[in-house]
């Protein structure tokens, strides 16, 4: 079965950037093919990776819901909506050379994401045996954890910036995983965007207060910001980028 690595944390701390670089590292070190899962309704992992996503699971859900009411969406005669959905699920997996990308996307209009979340869970469970690694970029917050979308995760990487609020959010996610008895083999914190790659005493104290294991620190790098402004995929950062080098050291320590 493929190793599931879940990346979680507060919004705006750089989860998706680190997730994309993690996926690229796994591919570059022969751990391919990797299944990259963008499990955020506000999806942008594809931009970090520099690829175009296929149809999203949310868009598939809309096709099924609107079939019969909207002439644009038709289900072939003789099959049910459930059977049609099953036949289309692999269309939501965009194939690249070293990895495949599945995007949750969002439902249009009003309503919750329960059905789309369920599709993510079903597909990850179905595809787990086809990939040595599955890397999941979770949405900001705790919904996927609380819903048990990824019950079989092996590694839980919590990401924070240097703020106490970010570390506290990571601590809440870690405690929720304990309450839900998810018990990944490894859970730890990466602090991202640290000035000069160093943490001040207040941040270190908060990490200790939250009972989190610090996996490592990724320094702030203006080049990441500039790549984003220029519309360049973050995975094209040079090999000697401080961000790349720090993340490589963390991944090696994790033994991935």
List the chain pLDDT tens, one digit each, 256 residues.
Answer: 779 999 999 889 999 999 999 999 999 999 999 999 998 878 899 999 999 888 898 888 888 777 766 666 777 888 887 788 888 888 889 999 999 999 988 755 555 567 777 888 888 888 899 999 999 999 876 666 666 666 578 999 999 999 999 999 999 999 988 988 888 999 999 999 999 999 999 999 999 999 999 999 999 999 999 999 999 999 999 999 999 999 999 999 999 8
Map out the domains of the chain as residue ranges.
3-254
pLDDT of residue 70: 66
Distance CA 118, CA 121 (A): 5
Q: Terminus-to-terminus CA distance in the chain, angstroms?
A: 15
Architecture of domain 3-254 in this structure: 3-Layer(aba) Sandwich (3.40)
Q: Return all residues near 237 (Cβ < 8 A) that are at least 6 apart.
A: 21, 223, 224, 227, 243, 244
**Strand 186-194 relative to strand 93-95: parallel, antiparallel, unpaired?**
unpaired
Residue 192 is inside which H or E element, if any? strand 186-194
Helix (H, G, I), strand (E, B) or coil at 241: coil
Q: What angle is formed at CA 11 by the lines to CA 9 and CA 16, rounded to 5 degrees?
A: 75
CA distances from 64 to 42, 68, 103, 117 (A): 21, 9, 17, 15
Eight-class DSSP state of 2:
P
And the tokens for 76?
A: 């072939």
Helix (H, G, I), strand (E, B) or coil at 138: strand
pLDDT of residue 139: 83
Helix (H, G, I), strand (E, B) or coil at 72: coil
And the tokens for 198?
A: 């160093």
The residue whose two tokens read 């070190």 is 29
Length of the chain: 256
Q: How many distinct helices (H) and strands (E) make up the chain?
A: 10, 8
């Amino acid at each position: 079965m493929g190793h599931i690595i879940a990346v979680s944390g507060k919004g705006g701390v750089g989860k998706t950037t680190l997730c994309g670089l993690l996926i690229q590292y796994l591919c570059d070190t022969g751990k391919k093919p990797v299944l990259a899962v963008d499990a955020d309704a506000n999806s942008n992992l594809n931009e970090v990776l520099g690829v175009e996503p296929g149809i999203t699971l949310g868009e598939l859900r809309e096709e099924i819901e609107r079939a019969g009411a909207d002439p644009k969406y038709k289900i072939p005669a003789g099959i049910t909506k459930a059977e049609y959905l099953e036949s289309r699920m692999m269309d939501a997996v965009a194939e690249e050379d070293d990895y495949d990308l599945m995007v949750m996307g969002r439902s249009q209009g009003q309503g919750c994401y329960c059905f789309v979340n369920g599709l993510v869970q079903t597909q990850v469970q179905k595809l787990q045996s086809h990939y040595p690694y599955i890397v999941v970029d979770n949405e900001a917050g705790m919904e996927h954890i609380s819903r048990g979308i990824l019950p079989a995760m092996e590694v839980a990487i919590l990401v924070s910036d240097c703020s106490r609020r970010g570390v506290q959010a990571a601590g809440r996610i870690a405690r929720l995983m304990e309450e839900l008895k998810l018990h990944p083999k490894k859970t730890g914190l990466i602090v991202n965007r640290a000035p000069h790659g160093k943490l001040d005493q207040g941040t270190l104290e908060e990490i200790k207060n939250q009972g989190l294991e610090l996996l490592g620190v990724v320094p702030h790098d203006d080049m990441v910001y500039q790549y984003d402004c220029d519309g360049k995929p973050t995975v094209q950062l040079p090999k000697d980028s401080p961000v790349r080098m720090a993340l490589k050291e963390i991944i090696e320590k994790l033994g991935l």
